[in-house]
Structure 1
Amino acid sequence: MADLQDELHAPAEAGVVDTPAQAVDVPPGAPDPAAARDLLARHPVADGYCGLPETLRTLPWHDLELGESAVETDLPRLRAGSTGALLWALHVDPEHPVTTALEQIDLVNNVVARYPDGLRLARSASETADARAHGRVAVVIGPAPATAIGDSLGTLRALHALGLRALTLSGTAWASDAGLSRFGEEVVREMNRLGMLVDLTGASPATAVRALAVSKAPAVLTRSGAHALNSHPDNVGDDLLAALGAGKGLCLVPCSVARTGLALRDVADHLDHVRRVAGPESVGLSGMYDTGDPHPEGLADASGYPALISELLDRGWPEADIALLTWGNVQRALRGAEFTARAARQRRGPSTATPDRDRP
């Protein structure tokens, strides 16, 4: 059913009457915005990283339905940008990581419940497709930093039960510059058993290589560009991109000045590069909106995606590759994690490993 639902067109919002688009004169050789919007109506954007929960936590009041000037991803902007799904990142306090992770998940649930006509919580690929089919923006919780689990697989399982679907493997003793420890490998195996996305953004090369070897599910980079074009520490080299592509993983290229460049065309250059090195099935989009990062000109908020798709069409991207970029690849990654989990649960039960196993 999920595959069938993926092909459904999201219906118009209740009370909204569809009207024919007015013809727009497009100069010869210029990108056609109408073509981009038509394509996005059929293949909306699944945005791989949004910092809205942390931003909303700092606001005394907000209204995402009417439009909120204090954020970059309110519902009018999401609709204007044809966003169909968002991964809502969790930001945790290093001193109280588990508590703040729980608080952020609680906030996400409350925000989604407040806007039932615009948002829907999704815990699987089929729920993401169902939200799209009913004209809602699917909200997937994650990624969270690895510190959120408090070095406990029991906490990992509890966070998964509450909806967390991605964890970033960096910044801990078991996922460090030295690579994955024995406990870190067990974290990856448990994530496979649960059906969680393994996020390698910011991971050391040693950690990334080992995680790709251990994980039976495709890994993701939720906010990484090509290091060949920009030397930001979270961007990755061609060797890792090629390995990611070989494993059917996914690199979500960010709309970030620091990571991809000052202009929309810079983001398109990174998309071109990742598509060429990793393959069209391993490239996606990551807005990084509401993270505090400056955004390229033309991509200031979530409404800018049609302009980016126009640029890609002008560069000769076929519709099939754009459909994978915007929606299909994220759906495949979610579904791949779920298929891996079904198989893993037949082989093993919940792990009881602790960081003590790393000691000689």
Structure 2
Amino acid sequence: MADLQDELHTTAEVGELDERPAVRPEPPVEAELPAKTAPTPDGDPLARAHAFLAAHPVADGYSGLPWALRHLPWFDLELGESAVDTDVPRMRRGHVGALFWSLHLPEGLTGDRAVGATLEQLDLVKTVVQTHPEGLRLACSAGQTTDARNCGRVAVVLGPAGASALGDSMGILRALHSLGLRALTLSGVSWASEAGLTRFGEEVLREMNRIGVVADLSGASEATIRRSLAVSKAPVLFTRSAARALRPHPANLPDDLLRELAAANGLCLVPLTAEQTGPSVRDVADHLDHVRTIAGPEGVGLSGTFDSGSAHPQDLPDASGYPRLIAELLDRGWTESDLALLTWGNVQRVLRSADFTARAAQQRREPSMAKIAELDG
């Protein structure tokens, strides 16, 4: 049970690119998964899905829960909360082991207001986690997400936040990271626009690599996407993107970008929204099939996108619906190894890679003091 904060008040080319560090071989995904998989029942696909997810839970790439909670006078996520799509009982029924909590803001908030509102969102998430200790645990790394899951808690990862939250300041980026931010969406600002990344934008991305903040490119322009794939030394995320070949939504990715994403070891998290994927579980599975075919099994993951204001496919109305989706994929012949990457392994890989890239970059680069006026003025 938790009381909410007050409603938000309305107020008024840096050098050459660094060489990519030598990449140390990463441990196989199976090293972070349980040594034993629960016995798989024969016959019933839904029973098989529950048994599989008990061993390989879902790392959900996007939740709009923080902003939704701002507008509730009272809530209890551990007992259950009907006013939102996500609570601890439904996450347990859906076998959710980790969840990215979005710090995105409504359109129109810019400058100091955006910075302040993001800090309030971040503070709210930490308060919610602290007041629901039996169900939730804050996590800032792949290891911490695994630890939380092994303790029977849902790991809460902070982000993505909007790029406007930085206030065009490298210092604010580092401060947000120190408070737990682990993903930032590169869109909606002058330095990451339809024209692509500016010189300052490229420096922001290098600093994100240096401290371990993952770039989220869902909703970014094609020019920003392509330049980010070229500049970033860590894998990037698309937290809410499906296959444009199946549904022509502007946030969905065409096949050529899916191939480039695969070449950069990035990850496309397919949203469970009717607008982007379609009205049924089968439609969502079609997108997952397509992204896996183009980007490979290492390039696809899941994004519930619950509590974001979006309509969801039939039988996937909230966080409890993942077993129905996994049952559909099992029926389609997905192997357990591919499903383990889809549900948990690929997100873990991206978080591990971001941490490794940051440790390597910190040995070569000092904190950036770049100013937007100096580079883009």
**Counterpart pick for 2:275 among 251, 258, 264:** 258
1:144 paired to 2:157: no
Secondary structure class of the residue paired with 1:139: strand
1:67 paired to 2:64: no
**Counterpart pick for 1:8 among 23, 34, 44:** 34
Aligned partner of 2:147 in structure 1 is 130
Aligned partner of 2:236 in structure 1 is 219
Q: What is the deviation of 1:264?
A: 0.8
Aligned partner of 1:341 in structure 2 is 358
Aligned partner of 1:39 in structure 2 is 52
The number of residue pairs the alignment matches comes to: 346
Q: Per the alignment, do residues 278 and 182 of structure 1 end up closer, same or farther by CA in structure 2, a change over 3 Å counting?
A: same
* TM-score normalised to structure 1 length: 0.93
Q: What is the deviation of 1:3?
A: 6.9
Aligned partner of 1:300 in structure 2 is 317
Aligned partner of 1:13 in structure 2 is none
> Unpaired runs of 5+ in structure 1?
11-17
Aligned partner of 1:55 in structure 2 is 68
**Counterpart pick for 1:79 among 92, 96, 116:** 92
How many angstroms apart in 1 are the aligned matches of 2:306 and 2:35? 25
Q: What is the deviation of 1:9?
A: 7.5
8 A contact 1:182–1:357 mirrored in 2: no
> Unpaired runs of 5+ in structure 2?
1-26
Q: What is the deviation of 1:32?
A: 1.2
How many angstroms apart in 2 are the aligned matches of 1:352 and 1:50? 32
8 A contact 2:29–2:341 mirrored in 1: no
**Equivalent position amino acid for 1:148 in 2:** A
**Equivalent position amino acid for 1:122 in 2:** A
Q: What is the deviation of 1:232?
A: 1.1
Secondary structure class of the residue paired with 2:74: coil
How many angstroms apart in 1 are the aligned matches of 2:29 and 2:196? 37
**Equivalent position amino acid for 1:152 in 2:** S
**Equivalent position amino acid for 1:89 in 2:** S
How many angstroms apart in 2 are the aligned matches of 1:141 and 1:5? 24
**Equivalent position amino acid for 1:81 in 2:** G
How many angstroms apart in 2 are the aligned matches of 1:142 and 1:356? 27
How many angstroms apart in 2 are the aligned matches of 1:220 and 1:83? 19
Aligned partner of 1:168 in structure 2 is 185
Aligned partner of 1:242 in structure 2 is 259
1:159 paired to 2:176: yes
**Equivalent position amino acid for 2:105 in 1:** V
1:179 paired to 2:190: no
8 A contact 1:9–1:42 mirrored in 2: no
**Equivalent position amino acid for 1:192 in 2:** N
Q: What do the CA deviations read for 1:189-247 (whole angstroms, capped 9, x no partner)?
A: 00000111111111111000000000000011000001111111111111111011111
Q: Per the alignment, do residues 83 and 9 of structure 1 end up closer, same or farther by CA in structure 2, a change over 3 Å counting?
A: farther
Q: What is the deviation of 1:4?
A: 8.1
1:114 paired to 2:127: no
8 A contact 2:197–2:227 mirrored in 1: yes
How many angstroms apart in 2 are the aligned matches of 1:323 and 1:234? 25
Q: What is the deviation of 1:349?
A: 1.0
Greater shift, 188-197 or 93-102, is seen at 93-102
- What percent identity do the matched residue pairs reach? 62
Aligned partner of 2:295 in structure 1 is 278
Secondary structure class of the residue paired with 1:49: strand
Q: What do the CA deviations read for 1:258-283 (whole angstroms, capped 9, x no partner)?
A: 11111111110110010000000010
**Counterpart pick for 1:192 among 205, 209, 217:** 209
Q: What do the CA deviations read for 1:329-355 (whole angstroms, capped 9, x no partner)?
A: 000000010000000000001101111
How many angstroms apart in 2 are the aligned matches of 1:316 and 1:271? 13
Q: What is the deviation of 1:5?
A: 7.1
Secondary structure class of the residue paired with 1:288: coil
Q: What is the deviation of 1:66?
A: 1.1
8 A contact 1:225–1:252 mirrored in 2: yes
Q: What do the CA deviations read for 1:51-90 (whole angstroms, capped 9, x no partner)?
A: 1100111000001111110011101100000000000001
**Equivalent position amino acid for 2:286 in 1:** D
Q: What is the deviation of 1:141?
A: 0.3
Q: How large is the Cα RMSD of the aligned pairs?
A: 1.9
Q: What is the deviation of 1:132?
A: 0.7
Q: What is the deviation of 1:2?
A: 11
**Equivalent position amino acid for 1:55 in 2:** A
8 A contact 2:158–2:183 mirrored in 1: yes
8 A contact 1:9–1:133 mirrored in 2: no
How many angstroms apart in 2 are the aligned matches of 1:197 and 1:151? 17
Q: What is the deviation of 1:178?
A: 0.5
1:103 paired to 2:120: yes
8 A contact 1:226–1:274 mirrored in 2: yes
